[in-house]
Amino acid sequence: MAKVVTQNIPSPIGESKPRIDAREKVTGAAIYADDLQFGNALLHARIKRSPYPHAFIKKIDITKARALPGVKAIVTGQDFPGYIGLYLQDRYIFCRDRVRYVGDPVAGVAAISAEIAEKALSLIQVEYEVLEPVLDPEFGASPEAPLIHPDLGQYVVANFIFPQPGTNISNYFKIRKGDVTGTWKKCAAIVERKYRIPHIQHVPIEPHVAIARVDETGEITLWGSSQSPFAQRNLIAQSMGISQSDMRVIAPFVGGGFGSKAGVSMESLAVAIATKVKGHPVKLLLTREEEFFTAFVRQELVAYFKMGCDENGKLLAMENKFYWGGGAYTEYGVNVTRASGYSSSGPYEVPNVKTDSYCVYTNHPVGGPMRGFGMPEMHAGLEQCIDELALQIGMDVVEFRKLNCLKTGSILVTGSKMHPTGLLQCVEKAAAAIGWGKKAPPSAPNKRRGKGIALMWKAPAMPPNAGSSAWVELAEDGTLNVGVGGQELGQGVFTVAAQMAAAALGVPYESVRVATPVDTRYSPYEWQTVASRLTWSMGNAIVSAAKDARRQILEMVAEAWGETPEDLDIVNGVVVSFKSEKEISLKNLVIYGLPKPDDQGWRGGPVIGRGNFMPTYVTGLDPKTGQGERAVVHYTTGAQAVELEVDLETGCIEIIKGVSAFDVGKAINPEMVKAQMEGGFVQGMSSALFERLQLKDGVVQNPSFVDYRIATSADIPMDLQAFIVEMPQDDGPWGARGIGEHSMVPTIPAIANAICDAIGLRFEGPPFTAEKVYLAMLDAGIVK
């Protein structure tokens, strides 16, 4: 029987309830939804969704639903004319003229119970005119495809995104470096391949949940399981035409995100409904089934690769074409497309590159950010082609990668120079740990064993001016409180925040607390908890705030002792002088200051440090060539290697050993860095072997864990190894870079390369299920 947890949680509406029964509650914000917390004022929301992938809305009749006892409000798109979106504002909160995917929100109901709200949905009558859907991104980019967004040319868009009005292409990013066409004749070997990467779901253990309340003055409070409280404040306020100061977002710990809880997905629905029932908190909780297709999914990709090298194995040219299936709305997909474009060479120095990267509207669920932000999908095919090219000229695939991989000073695909990188060391460590070049026998006669390796690179995909801020304050007992706007998703960022604050100020880690929950009214600004950027960006802000507090303390003590701040240091919460050997604890002085001699007053006062960080050096790229001085802040690089066995009788794949090696600049917390490597490997393995959203005519066929398989503890290899390489980043705190997403990027191709090593077969794309592998072996005559 599950343990019943009771907690004291301060009420968001001013009351305090001593006991909250957390049985059957999910983590994070959902616990606030308990009736005991909000009382009888709490209303429950449900959403009427489109059953068609593409259709005009001809008529919505809410008469019967509104008459149902217990229904307090019904809203439709006619109530909210504003667009919403991060990089591209291309959707309404509720559909107005047409629906664009199965699950598109058409109307919302608030009622005194979830059951009544659900009943009301069945009473809402919607008349549709069904339209031809677009179900493939490559077809969607063609002139023959029906338009999904005829008004694309009128949408508000970031200045580095390039929609193509009159088409389904919401962003077109190009790379033109060198002379690709003229280089092919110089190549000793050329590989051309097509790969297809399917939609998958993030499947966080906690589904999306939001509670919104609008008070009588019109001020909005939103409690949500969110990676992006400040972005939600901004985007929802803009869409609804209110001031950001009248929109407050409170975000407790998040029960898993992986990108699915970035930006705005369902949260604006709760806010919109709450505007019609002022004073009532409105709770919207996605069911697990809804989570699969109404929240963000990972975009699908149809990718074409062509690459060539000379007789010595030196890469000479690449020509890539990416059709990203962005789904019905592409506010995030447009930047995934851009990121894949400026990273399209992979972690290799290639003098001649041509890339065309298209974000294409389809009538599939909405593609959004997921761990890796397009890099797992793009690397999946590219790293397999690298293997094939090396083998075609008779070169060991590890040696081929060592020859061509990026080194410090390499010229990148965008024309800029690579910062210091330890990628070569990563390759060497991964290859050595997997026993590269040593063929181990299979564990049984009916099995084949193989090894594979893959490299990766990834930059934080973000606007050039994404900023972070932080504050620190000390209490009378010398403890340090740290305010940040980044979110804890289980990745350990609050631990790292406390470590950095302690080290920068000079106090014990145990005396540091991080202020939670993140609250846009009181927490310092943070762009979003995405892009594996918090250790680097938020970390810089924390260090700046701690140094500001440190400066105030040392100046105060130096003045009192007649010394200079340079004579002093803070060690374990004690100010010490190297000159006079005096010392004094931070206790009390950080609040009350220090007395002047002869009772002539006091100096100092409460110490509060503040800091911020924003990269000021990222430049734009030429829209015609994709060339520029500095496209991104930095790249994290790394390698993974895999040893596996294929069962000839079943096609089942068993991962025997997984090795990860990443250059993280500086590991602030080495154990958590290794945990990120291991967790990313397992999630990448899951996407390689099991995961796929099965869509038929735009309808998801497997919206449950019964039919949507993810890796479990039983699938994890017994031997997982993680190696840290540290080549400091010039602008990172202590040289640190992010590692959260990167460990999922090379896993698919590492496994694919190992499968090919074992049985000599390649596939157009994952997942490499037992059925798919067995049937392929049957077709190839490997088994009979």
Q: Which amino acids are annotated catalytic?
A: 741
Q: What letters, b where the CB count within 10 A reaches 16 and e where it falls short, cover 529-553?
A: bbbbbbbbbbbbbbbbbbebbbebb
Cβ atoms of 648 and 187 within 8 Å: the answer is no
Residue 754 structural domain: 297-416+636-779
Largest Cα separation within the chain, whole Å, is 99
- pTM metric for this prediction: 0.95
Q: Quick one: which of 620, 681, 703, 594 has its CA closest to 290?
A: 703
pLDDT at 35: 55
Q: Quick one: which of 190, 176, 193 has its CA closest to 356?
A: 176
Domain membership flag for residue 562? yes
Phi, psi of 373 (to 5 degrees): 50, 55
In SS3 terms, 496-552 reads as HHHHHHHHHHCCCHHHEEECCCEECCCCCCECCCCCCCHHHHHHHHHHHHHHHHHHH
Q: What's the CATH code of the domain at 528?
A: 3.30.365.10
pLDDT at 12: 28
- Percent of the chain past pLDDT 70, that is, above it, reads 95
Domain membership flag for residue 442? no
Q: Quick one: which of 183, 169, 173 has its CA closest to 414?
A: 173
- pLDDT-flagged residues of the chain (< 50): 1-33
List C-alpha distances in Å: 459 to 96, 341, 345, 386, 642: 37, 12, 13, 21, 24
Domain membership flag for residue 147? no
Statement to judge: residues 276 and 221 lie in one domain? yes
Q: Quick one: which of 124, 148, 630 has its CA closest to 366?
A: 148
User: What token pair was written down for 21?
Assistant: 């029964």
Statement to judge: residues 409 and 497 lie in one domain? no
Statement to judge: residues 249 and 339 lie in one domain? no
Residues 6+ apart with CB under 8 A from 117: 44, 45, 46, 71, 109, 110, 111
Statement to judge: residues 602 and 677 lie in one domain? no
Any bridge partners for residue 512, and if so which? 480
Statement to judge: residues 552 and 489 lie in one domain? yes
Any bridge partners for residue 640, and if so which? 454, 660
Q: What span, in angstroms and rounded, lies between the C-alpha atoms of 493 and 485?
A: 11
List, for residues 452-511, the tens digit of each pLDDT value.
999 999 999 999 999 999 999 999 999 999 999 999 999 999 999 999 999 999 999 999
Statement to judge: residues 70 and 26 lie in one domain? no
Q: What's the CATH code of the domain at 113?
A: 3.90.1170.50
Statement to judge: residues 53 and 26 lie in one domain? no
pLDDT at 5: 27
Q: What span, in angstroms and rounded, lies between the C-alpha atoms of 331 and 367?
A: 9
Statement to judge: residues 110 and 228 lie in one domain? yes
Q: What span, in angstroms and rounded, lies between the C-alpha atoms of 534 and 497?
A: 9
List C-alpha distances in Å: 465 to 461, 526, 613: 11, 12, 10
Domain membership flag for residue 182? no
- Domain count across the chain: 3
